[in-house]
Amino acid sequence: MANRKRVVLIGLDPKVVDYAKYPGLTAEKLEGALRADVARLDEFGLEAGICFIDHGETAVETVTAALASAPPDIVLIGAGVRSDPAEFLLFERLVNVVHEGAPAARLCFNTGPTDSVAAVQRWL
């Protein structure tokens, strides 16, 4: 399918998440849930990929490179960045990076690592 819509899921690398904030969540569960979302998006005929970032040291450069490699139709910024007050400035920077690097892309947001598909579907 040459004309598949491209989706980029941006979220904290499971290796850098503070799991004390999310009881019961582990790096393995987080990454597994995100990879399952990518597989489900693929089943819907989308080309989805994950862009794991750190807390800001290289996040802007990482996202800029991901957006430049193949312009996305939809960009999701995960709840670990969006809803954590400690990540507020990172979230703000990422919104502006996406705005500059993929101005035609739709933005969407999930509430956790298991509802990314629903978030993307709202903007198809």
The owner of tokens 């990879």 is: 35
Please report which confidence band the pLDDT of residue 3 belongs to, taking 50, 70 and 90 as the band edges. Answer: confident
Task: Assign 3-state DSSP to the chain and report helix, strand, coil percentages, each to 5.
Answer: 45, 20, 35
Total Cβ atoms within 10 A of residue 59: 22
pLDDT in the model for residue 123: 94
For the chain, domain boundaries: 6-121
Residue 1, pLDDT above cutoff 70: no
Total Cβ atoms within 10 A of residue 25: 17
Residue 83, pLDDT above cutoff 80: yes
Phi/psi zone of residue 86: left (φ > 0), alpha (ψ -120 to 50 degrees), beta? alpha
Provide the residue type at 51 as one letter: C
Q: Which fold has domain 6-121?
A: Rossmann fold (3.40.50)
Residue range 95-122: average pLDDT?
Answer: 95
pLDDT in the model for residue 2: 59
Residue range 66-92: average pLDDT?
Answer: 96
pTM score, whole prediction = 0.94
pLDDT in the model for residue 117: 94
